[in-house]
Chain A
Amino acid sequence: MREQLLISEGARRFKRLGAFFGHSLLTGVASSSIIAILFIFYFIMRDALPFFRIEGVKEFFSSAHWYPSREDAEFGALAIFVGSGLVTLGASIVAVPLGVLAAVCLSDILPFSVRQVAKPVIEMLAAIPSVVYGFFALAVFAPLLQTKGGSVLAIGAWIVLAPLALVSIAVASDVVASRSPVRARAAARVVAAALMGSAAVFALIALGGFLSRLPVSTGTNAFNVSVILGIMALPTIVSVSEDSLNAVGRELREGSYALGATRAETLLKVVIPAAGSGILAAVILGVMRAVGETMVVWMASGNAARIPSPWFNLLEPVRTLTATIAGDMGEADQVTGSARYHVLFAMALCLLAFAFVMNVVSEYAVRRSRRKGR
């Protein structure tokens, strides 16, 4: 009876062999990702290193003279590095506060039904192809900046700063009221609000006037690209930070509420610090999206390889690493093997190395936040 149920020894061995082969095959296929990343590093490096052999390292990183097509070519990429950095900085100024706030709002503040509507908005922002963002920057935003640059900046400043001013005046006047004698409280609140309100309005008008007088010589500049890149980086920042905010357990929040903290205090003093490394990872991933983005900067950054003066002047055209690679390869491909061809690979190597390091850092941060969450 028992012998009939069991499979014969040979069949069992065959089966085990099959499982072993299956397992190794699957392991082999799975390791294709490792092979892919190794190959990417090898082949980018193989074409990048000849550049450093031909031209040396120092000029590339320290000089801002970018004349690759001249007779005595110069390959100083400093201005291009500065351009990439400037655009990325601008994008993170737009994306980081907005993204983290939005993530907090999604994870803790909005009711479930509203969240179901807000989530697809973020998914759509993430899904829109980069060339569409680039086209918008070039065909809609740039002409607007070019013709009405100053007023666009002033209106933008109003839209961003007015709600902030309103909220901080409300809180500050309440603080003033609470410090004054009980009988004069209402009067103190009104006076403080009126004083600070008029000061804020005055400051905003002054700022608006200053911004609207700024000369905007071209619509395709670093400011344009920064805003668009910031919007592109938002979905990454929001979704990754939201995950890490959700990973902070209920116990922490409930403990804080039990001590009498309000929601804002709980979020600012307990939840956000606890999710800190996850939010850091989100910011890194979002910034990486801005650094590696090609089409938007190629179409709308102006592609001028010089350092803006002063260096933080976002209203001047800049040129970035990605746009240089995309734009120059068309000509350089004809002269495969020349320094002009290899310099683009050298830039790609810098991008790749930066992305790799940042990625490892963010991965480490995510792992740490997960361990903490548990």
Chain B
Amino acid sequence: MRIGTRALFDRSFTFVSVVSIAFMSAALLVLLGPIFVKGSSAFVFRATIEHRELMLDRFDRGNRDALAAERARTDAARAPVFEALRAFEAQLDTAGADFRRAHRGDFNELADLVRELLGPAPGEEEPVLMRGQYGQTRWDRARIKLRAILFVEDYDYSDPSKMGVKVLRPRVERFRGTSLEPAFAELEGGAGDMLLPRLTWYWRFLFDGSFDSHFFGGIWPEMLGTIYLVIGAMLFAVPLGVATAIYLAEYAGESHFVSILRTCISSLAGVPSIVFGLFGLAFFINTVHVSPSKSVLAGALTLALLVLPTVIRASEEAIKAVPLTYKEASMSLGASRWRTILTVILPAALPGVLTSIIISMGRAAGETAPIIFTAAVSVGQPLAVWQTLAQPTPALPWNIYNLATEHQAIDEIRHVQYGMVLTLVALVLILNLTAILLRARISKKLRG
């Protein structure tokens, strides 16, 4: 081949491989972009008066008098709608059978939708479920509900060769000429006055308990459960892992036992996480009975096994990175091997060991499969420390799965799911960032 062609080929190869790096970065951006954008809407959003009332009722937060004033304004704005509904219902009862047959179903549907948007009408009896007691707390959800009131989704099958086309028909057509007709214009124009949306910074999303299966409130039980699981896992994994690392770095030579040990550690790292979950169920719960059924303790033990190889490997590297001169200086002063390890090597390796612990914490926080059978439940209250020995807990990763797939109204609580995902990602990334920064400092220190 000509030299020019070879140079061109060389440049093309460089181009393609740089493109592959660009692909990876793009993948990260595409992944994190929606999570950060939509996740932040759990914390910053336009909250309606219903949200402020909820905060006052449940947490005693906010100004009672200001809320009462706002309530008076919204009640005034809502009055015509409720009035029209009540009047129409009375008309239904008195009017003839034909009128009733024509409008009863439509009216009930409409009344339900209005109740979802604005909450129960004044004087109506209080619903049992909390989601019935309040209207929409978020303006973005309220807009969607309002659209559902104003328009009926329908499918147009006029062209038989194609699939049905979705069309929106104004709901008001069903009530044309009745006393309800003006209520639609009222709702369309005055929804803002009925709900008074205001931009709100709800940082307490992290620390509030949840109500009515996450329709309202925050994610504190999940946060706390994750924190318990991570700390519990570290309590078991760190002593075991660091001791093994010391053994491998300082005591072990090239014996047969050590090579078996290393193979076992790497095999442990390769075991699929779901198998850890099954093992936790079969061993910790069904055989050893650390707790009668799922518990934080069983989950923490399972997670500890899962992160053990990570702790061992990273700690061993940290211990091996301590310059040999430290050890020699200590030994030459007459310190025993033990003393050298405890007073010289471990302190010098401590930042590196901490890095390994932090990375494993991130791993333990995000693992879902091992805790499915051993620790996680969908709904639960925040636990006290002693309860962790026998009780299961909700946890961030499990509840993300649960809310995104098994919840009864997945689309209505998207913001909670995204909020949870953002929280988990932020937690893990912050832990990893800490580890990266710590590692950079160590390498600078050991070099200089």
Contact A351 B283 (CB under 8 A): no
Query: Cβ of A32: which chain B residues have Cβ within 8 Å of it?
Result: 240, 244
Query: Cβ of B10: which chain A residues have Cβ within 8 Å of it?
Result: 262-265
Contact B13 A132 (CB under 8 A): no
Contact B414 A139 (CB under 8 A): yes
Q: How many A-B residue pairs have CB under 8 A?
A: 277
Binary interface encoding of chain B residues 241-269 relative to chain A, with 1 for a CB under 8 A from any of its CBs, else 0? 00110111001100000001101111111
Contact B270 A131 (CB under 8 A): no
**Residues A29 and B271 in contact in the complex (CB < 8 Å), given A98-B20, A130-B366, A131-B368:** no
Stretch at the interface among A63-71, A192-200, A356-364: A356-364
Nearest CB to that of B263 among chain A residues? Answer: A363
A153 interfacial by beta-carbon distance below 8 Å: no
**Residues A136 and B28 in contact in the complex (CB < 8 Å), given A105-B20, A322-B274:** no
Contact A171 B5 (CB under 8 A): yes
**Residues A43 and B287 in contact in the complex (CB < 8 Å), given A33-B309, A129-B424, A294-B369:** yes
Contact A136 B31 (CB under 8 A): yes
Distance in angstroms from B166 CB to nearest chain A CB is 12
Distance in angstroms from A287 CB to nearest chain B CB is 11
Contact B267 A102 (CB under 8 A): no
Central interface residue in B8, B21, B282, by most chain A CB within 10 Å: B21
- Give bound CA distance, A209 to B383, whole Å: 56
Distance in angstroms from A142 CB to nearest chain B CB is 11
Contact B261 A140 (CB under 8 A): no
Stretch at the interface among A17-25, A51-59, A247-255, A304-312: A17-25
Central interface residue in B10, B17, B338, by most chain A CB within 10 Å: B17
Binary interface encoding of chain B residues 431-443 relative to chain A, with 1 for a CB under 8 A from any of its CBs, else 0? 1100010000000
- 8 Å CB interface, B327-351 against A: 336-338
Contact B34 A140 (CB under 8 A): yes
A270 interfacial by beta-carbon distance below 8 Å: no
- Give bound CA distance, A314 to B219, whole Å: 37
Mind listing 15 A-B residue pairs with CB under 8 Å?
Answer: A36-B268, A124-B429, A125-B28, A130-B367, A139-B417, A170-B12, A171-B12, A174-B8, A263-B10, A292-B271, A292-B275, A294-B369, A295-B369, A295-B401, A355-B267
Contact B279 A39 (CB under 8 A): yes
- Give bound CA distance, A293 to B275, whole Å: 10
Bin chain B's interface residue count. Answer: 35 or more
Binary interface encoding of chain A residues 130-154 relative to chain B, with 1 for a CB under 8 A from any of its CBs, else 0? 1111111011100000000000000
Bin chain A's interface residue count. Answer: 35 or more
**Residues A167 and B15 in contact in the complex (CB < 8 Å), given A36-B305, A140-B34:** yes
5 nearest A-B residue pairs (beta carbon): A129-B366, A292-B272, A264-B13, A105-B17, A30-B247
A214 interfacial by beta-carbon distance below 8 Å: no
Task: Please classify the interface of chain A as helix (H, G, I), strand (E, B), loop, or mixed, using the class held by over half of its residues.
Answer: helix
Contact A101 B282 (CB under 8 A): no
A279 interfacial by beta-carbon distance below 8 Å: no
Distance in angstroms from B245 CB to nearest chain A CB is 9
B446 interfacial by beta-carbon distance below 8 Å: no
Contact B287 A355 (CB under 8 A): no
Binary interface encoding of chain B residues 360-400 relative to chain A, with 1 for a CB under 8 A from any of its CBs, else 0? 00110111110011000000000000000000000001101
Query: Cβ of B309: which chain A residues have Cβ within 8 Å of it?
Result: 33
Nearest CB to that of B23 among chain A residues? Answer: A98
A299 interfacial by beta-carbon distance below 8 Å: yes
Query: Cβ of A118: which chain B residues have Cβ within 8 Å of it?
Result: 21, 24-25
B404 interfacial by beta-carbon distance below 8 Å: yes
B2 interfacial by beta-carbon distance below 8 Å: yes
Contact A19 B338 (CB under 8 A): yes
Query: Cβ of B272: which chain A residues have Cβ within 8 Å of it?
Result: 288, 291-294, 322, 351-352, 355
Contact B274 A131 (CB under 8 A): no
Binary interface encoding of chain A residues 1-35 relative to chain B, with 1 for a CB under 8 A from any of its CBs, else 0? 00000000000000100110011001101111110
Distance in angstroms from B182 CB to nearest chain A CB is 37
A89 interfacial by beta-carbon distance below 8 Å: no
Query: Cβ of B279: which chain A residues have Cβ within 8 Å of it?
Result: 39-40, 43-44
**Residues A131 and B424 in contact in the complex (CB < 8 Å), given A105-B20, A170-B8, A336-B286:** yes
